[in-house]
Structure 1
C-alpha cells in the first residue's frame, strides 16, 4: 500500500513539472506568432509564479480542509484546463489570463506534498520526489521541440501536454480513496509507535529506579525519571513559534530558496533564447538542449537519492552549488556552441540536490512543530524568486542584450552559495559529513 501511495505522489510531481518548462522552450516561435515583445515571456512567468505564491501561502488551510489527495486532483485539473487554453489562445492577453489558473494549480499541492514527505520519509525519498518533477520538466521541452519541428507548431505541444495532464487527473480521481486509507494507516502506525514508546518508558523507569546512581532513594529516582519523560514529551509536543522569522538561520535559508528558484526558472525561461540569439542554434536544437538541462536535474536527483544514504544534505547542497557555478562558467566563456550544452547539463546536475535537500532539512533545522507553516512560506519565497528574477532579466535583456544571461546567472548562483553557507554558520550543525546509516 505504501509503495503504491509513493508512486501516486511521484505521478503528481510529474504533473507539476510538465508545464514548468514549456513556455521557455516555445517562446522563440510563440513570440513572433502572437506579436508580443521579447520580454513578455517574463510577464507570463510572473503571473504564473504569482498565482503559485498565493496558493502556497494558503496551502496549510486548503490542505487541512480538503486533504492532500483532493488538492492534488484539483490542482492537476486546473493546470490541464489552462494548458488547453494556451493551445488555442489567440493573443498575449488570453495567455496572461490563462496563466492565473496555471499558477494557482501548482502552489498548494507543491507545499502539501513536500511537507508530507519531509515529515514522513527519509531524505532519499525527497530527492526522488523532485526527480519525478524533473521527469515532467524534461519531457515538456522534448514534446514541444517535436511539435515545433513538425506541422503543429507550439500549439500542438501545449495540447499534447494537456492530454497527458488529463490522463493524470483520471489516475488521481480513481485512486482518491487510497489517500484517505493510507492517511488512516499512518495514524494507526503512529498510535502503535506511541504505545510501544510508553511501554518502553515504563520498563526503563522500573530498571532505572533500581540502579540509577543519580538519585539517593527509590522515591527520588521515580520522580526524577518522571521529570525526564515529561521533559522529553514536552519537547516532542512543543508549540510552533508565533514569529517564525525570529528563528535562527531562517532568513538566509529563505534567501537561498528565493535565489534557487530564480536561477532554475531563469535558465528554463531564457536558456533557449540565449542559445538562439547568441550561440546561433536553431529553435528546435535550443529546445532540445534546454530539455537536457532539465534532464540533468532529473538524473542528478535520481543519483542523489542513493547518495543521501551515505552523505548529509549539507554536503550535497554545497557540492551542488559548486557544480552549478562550473556550468555557469562554461556558458560565459567564448567556446564553441557545444560547450553550452555541457554548461546547461552541469547547471542542471548541480541544482539537483539543492532544493530537495533544503526542503528535507526544514524539520531538522527549524523544528518539526514549525515545518508546516515554514514549508508554505518557503514555497512562497521560492516562487517569489521565480516571479521576479526571470522577468527582471527579460527587462534587462530587452534594453541591452540576452548575451548577459550567463553573467547574471553566475551572480545569482554566487549569492545562493553565500546564503546557504550563512545558514550553516548560524546553525553550526556538527554532523554534516558521512553518515553512519540510512
Structure 2
C-alpha cells in the first residue's frame, strides 16, 4: 500500500509540473493576438510579467508558513484553484487592466505549487524521480505553445487556449482534493542531526526570520540565484551572440539555441535515469566541470576554429545544467532540517529574481561593450557558484563529523 501511494504521488507530481509549465508556454504565442484584442503597445507585456512575478515571489517566499498552516495537500489544492481561476480570468477579461490583475493570482498559484511540490519531492522522492519531476516541467512548457498554436490555427480565438489549460488546472485541483491526505512529509532533523517530529501533512512551523538567521541558508539561497543566472544568461543571449557577433544566419542560430534547450530538457530525463546510482554531491561536481568546459568552448571565437565548437559547448552546457536544480533541492532537507520548507520557498524566490535580473545586467554590459562580454560574465558566475557550492559541502562535512563524534561519545558512555 505504501509503495502504491508513493508511486501515485510521483505520478501526480509529474502531472503537476507539466501543468505548471503549460501556462508559461501559452503567453509567447498568444501575445500578438492579445495585443490586438486590447489594443496595447508591445511593451505592455512587461507589466503583465511584473504582476505575475510579484504574485510568484509573495507565495514562494511564504511557502514555509503556508505549508505549516495548511499542509502540503491543502496548499496544492488551493494553488491549482488559484492558477485555474487566473487562467479563466485571462480568458474572460474585458480589458487589459483586468487581464493584468489576474496575473497576480496566477503568480500566487504558480509560486505555491512550485515550492510545495519541491518541498515534498525533496523529502519524499528519489533523486531519479526528482530529476524527472523537473523534466516534466519542460514538457509542459513545450506543450503550451503547441496548444495555443493549434487553437489559433483552428479558430483564431486565443481565449480558448487559456480555457483548455484552465480545465487541466482545475482537474488537477480535484485530484489533489481526493489525495490531500497522502501528501505527508518525512521527519526533519535539527542542527545536531537528530530527528524531529513524525511525517505529517503540516510540519512544525519555523518562522521565516529564524530560517534567515542561519548563515548557511543565505549561502544556499545565493547558490540558487547564481545557478539560474547561468541558465538564463545562456538561454536569453546565445541567439544574439551567434547572430550579431559570430555571423551565423537566423535559422542556424535558432536551431542551435533549440538544441541547447533540448539538451537541457532531455538531460533531466537521461541523467535522471542514472541519478539513483550517483550521489547528488558527486553528480553536482561532474556537472560543474561540464558547465565550465561548455562555457569555455562557446567562448572559443577564432577564425581558425570551426563554428560548430560553440554548438558542442552549448549542448554540453545544457546537459550539465539540467540536473543541478533538482540535485541542489534534494540535498536541502538533510542540510537544513526543520528549515527545509522555508528554505525551498526562498530558493524559488531567488531563482525568480535571477530570471529577471540576469538578462538586464548582461544586456546593459553588452550595450556598453559587446555581446561577447557574455562569456567572461558566465565564467565569472561559474566561479562564484563553485565557491558557494564548496562552502555548502564543507558545512555538510562539518555536520557529519559532529554527528559522528556524538555517536562515538554516546557509544563510549554506554560501555
* TM-score, length basis structure 2: 0.72
Contact 1:329 1:343 in 2 (8 A): yes
Contact 1:60 1:373 in 2 (8 A): yes
Contact 2:85 2:166 in 1 (8 A): no
- Indicate yes or no: 2:271 matched with 1:317: no
The structure-2 alpha-carbon separation of the partners of 1:166 and 1:20, relative to structure 1 and needing over 3 Å to count, comes to closer
Whole-Å separation in 2 of the counterparts to 1:96 and 1:403: 36
Whole-Å separation in 2 of the counterparts to 1:322 and 1:103: 34
Whole-Å separation in 2 of the counterparts to 1:117 and 1:428: 23
The structure-2 alpha-carbon separation of the partners of 1:271 and 1:83, relative to structure 1 and needing over 3 Å to count, comes to farther
Contact 1:25 1:287 in 2 (8 A): no
* Residue number in structure 1 paired with 2:408: none
1:168: how far off? 2.2
Whole-Å separation in 2 of the counterparts to 1:65 and 1:430: 31
Deviations 1:201-245 (A, max 9, x none): xxxxxxxxxxxxxxxxxxxxxxxxxxxxxx9x9932277586324
1:121: how far off? 2.3
- Indicate yes or no: 2:123 matched with 1:130: no
* Residue number in structure 1 paired with 2:317: 347
1:260: how far off? 1.1
1:105: how far off? 3.5
Deviations 1:295-333 (A, max 9, x none): 222222223333232211111111112212222223222
Structure with larger RCO (C-alpha < 8 A, sep 6+)? 1
Of residues 194, 207, 211 in structure 2, which corresponds to 1:235? Answer: 194
The structure-2 alpha-carbon separation of the partners of 1:247 and 1:359, relative to structure 1 and needing over 3 Å to count, comes to same
1:360: how far off? 0.7
Of residues 69, 73, 78 in structure 1, which corresponds to 2:80? Answer: 73
Whole-Å separation in 2 of the counterparts to 1:312 and 1:248: 25
Contact 2:226 2:381 in 1 (8 A): yes
The structure-2 alpha-carbon separation of the partners of 1:162 and 1:286, relative to structure 1 and needing over 3 Å to count, comes to farther
Contact 1:128 1:301 in 2 (8 A): yes
Whole-Å separation in 2 of the counterparts to 1:143 and 1:289: 24
1:398: how far off? 4.0
Moved more, 356-365 or 75-84: 75-84
Of residues 348, 358, 372 in structure 2, which corresponds to 1:379? Answer: 348
* Residue number in structure 2 paired with 1:220: none
The structure-2 alpha-carbon separation of the partners of 1:98 and 1:160, relative to structure 1 and needing over 3 Å to count, comes to same
* Residue number in structure 2 paired with 1:307: 274
- Indicate yes or no: 2:144 matched with 1:180: no
1:410: how far off? 2.6
The structure-2 alpha-carbon separation of the partners of 1:364 and 1:160, relative to structure 1 and needing over 3 Å to count, comes to farther
Equivalent pairs, count: 374
Whole-Å separation in 1 of the counterparts to 2:364 and 2:136: 32
The structure-2 alpha-carbon separation of the partners of 1:120 and 1:272, relative to structure 1 and needing over 3 Å to count, comes to same
What secondary structure does 2:260 align onto? helix
1:417: how far off? 1.9
The structure-2 alpha-carbon separation of the partners of 1:343 and 1:95, relative to structure 1 and needing over 3 Å to count, comes to farther
* Residue number in structure 2 paired with 1:215: none
Whole-Å separation in 2 of the counterparts to 1:406 and 1:46: 28
* TM-score, length basis structure 1: 0.69
* Residue number in structure 2 paired with 1:221: none
Whole-Å separation in 1 of the counterparts to 2:233 and 2:86: 21
1:133: how far off? 1.5
Q: What are the within-5 Å matches in structure 2 for residues 401-412 of structure 1?
A: 401-412=370-381
Moved more, 347-356 or 396-405: 396-405
1:160: how far off? 8.3
Structure 2: unaligned runs, 5 residues or longer: 198-203, 401-415
1:110: how far off? 0.6
What secondary structure does 2:381 align onto? helix
1:132: how far off? 0.9
- Indicate yes or no: 2:285 matched with 1:281: no
1:264: how far off? 1.9
Moved more, 323-332 or 337-346: 337-346
The structure-2 alpha-carbon separation of the partners of 1:247 and 1:345, relative to structure 1 and needing over 3 Å to count, comes to same
- Indicate yes or no: 2:361 matched with 1:392: yes
Deviations 1:27-79 (A, max 9, x none): 99x99x98657xx9888766544432222012234443371331341353256
Structure 1: unaligned runs, 5 residues or longer: 194-230, 432-438
The structure-2 alpha-carbon separation of the partners of 1:13 and 1:157, relative to structure 1 and needing over 3 Å to count, comes to farther
Structure with greater Cα Rg: 1
